[in-house]
Structure 1
Amino acid sequence: MQKSKVIIAIFVICLSSYLLITKNFELVPYLMLTLAIFMLVTGLVEHQRNRKGFWGYLSILVSLFILFVSLQGFFLN
């Protein structure tokens, strides 16, 4: 699970860097989708460590919100 978190984080950083360098913001919903997946994996890692506190639940809630926003970006554009 930790390796997938690192791979997704690298992908998010590369995609956001590409968007900033090229100033082509048509791929923002894909960036939001990968960011939502990253936040979900982060929340699940926190729950696997038996840290069922505030940050695990918060990252899962944030991932659901980002997923909702990215789906709106896909369907409204």
Structure 2
Amino acid sequence: MKEKKFDILLLLHLMFGLLVLGISIYVNVTESYQLFPLLFVLMGVMFLIIGLREYKRTKNFWWGIFFLGIALFMLFVAAQGIVN
């Protein structure tokens, strides 16, 4: 049987996913939309980690570029939310 290795990217993915989920639930319950820039930063980092995991898993350069583009867009949206 093949033994699974501990993957730090999976741990980071789960941690950022839980943070995004928690902040999303808080925003929906309180209807306080001031945390949206933080939410977008965390989602951008999460998509960056997803891209790294997919590239590491499949060795397909295009999936890494796809998720990197999504991460950069999310970070751009977060920066726009912070500035405005």
Q: TM-score scaled to structure 1, two decimals?
A: 0.90
Letter of the 2:31 counterpart = K
Structure 2 counterpart of 1:63: 71
Unaligned runs of 5+ in 2: 1-8
Give, in whole Å, the separation in 2 of the partners of 1:20 and 1:64. 25
Contact 2:50/2:67 (8 A) holds in 1 = yes
Question: Which is greater in Rg?
Answer: 2
Q: How does 1:21-40 map to 2 (within 5 A)?
A: 21-40=29-48
Query: Aligned-pair distance for 1:54?
Result: 4.0
Structure 2 counterpart of 1:7: 15
Unaligned runs of 5+ in 1: none
- RMSD of aligned alpha carbons: 1.2
Query: Aligned-pair distance for 1:57?
Result: 2.1
**Percent identity between the two aligned chains:** 28
Aligned residues: 76
Letter of the 1:9 counterpart = G
Give, in whole Å, the separation in 2 of the partners of 1:54 and 1:12. 25
